[in-house]
Amino acid sequence: MWQVWRGAWRDPSFRKAVLALVLVAIPVAFVQPVFFGHIGARPGLFPPDPVIAHLGPMDLSPAIFLVIYGSIVLTVARVLAFPYLILRGLHAYIILLLLRMLAMWLVVLEAPVDAIPLADPVTVFFYPGGVPFLKDLFFSGHTATIALLVPLSRGPAARYAMAAATAIVAVLVVAQHVHWTVDVLAAPFFAWLAWRAGGLSLRLCGVEGG
């Protein structure tokens, strides 16, 4: 496997794509706490949601994190021998973050009044004050991240499993009232858009078949 990665690193276009990834990812990571602080200060809307009205709230945080991070670990482990595929996934993920920031800027929603905070052990560091942030709503980042694993997975069985994981996470975050139904319904579309844009991003860096 390491020979495959060494071979990829010898490709100038691969190194260019890695550099482009780093140059975008670092500013995005630094600007997110400021961005979330700004979103938190803006008034938002309460969309009508009959599902929320009849489901939950329930604290399902352990199950949500088990599905999310278990799915990520399993998917990455299965594609470690495909450096170009992983690079496309990383490009797509950064694009997904940018799309989410744009969507939150355009569509500011308030959290359901009885939302149970979801303290993600990873993303909490990007929120203002390092505490759970309830207004990062449209669209659901957790649902979109799992949806992004579907095209990243190799083989029909793995893709069906990630599609099922996406549906499970979508239901769980709605049941915990940390997202509206519209947030999770929109997430797979944005994940698909980010995946397609990730391929374009690699091609712009000169990677063939990106």
Asked if 58 and 176 touch (Cβ cutoff 8 Å), the reply is yes
Q: For 132-155, give one letter per residue: b (16+ CB within 10 A) or e.
A: bbbbbbbbbbbbbbbbbbbbbbee
Query: Residues 25-81: pLDDT tens digits?
Result: 999 988 988 898 899 899 999 999 999 988 889 999 999 999 999 999 999 999 999
Residue 128 burial (10 A CB sphere; 0-12, 13-18, 19+): middle
- 95 CB burial (10 A radius; 0-12, 13-18, 19+): buried
For the chain, the structural domain boundaries read: 2-204
Q: Which two tokens stand for residue 82?
A: 């495909």
Task: List, for residues 83-105, the tens digit of each pLDDT value.
Answer: 999 999 999 999 999 999 999 99
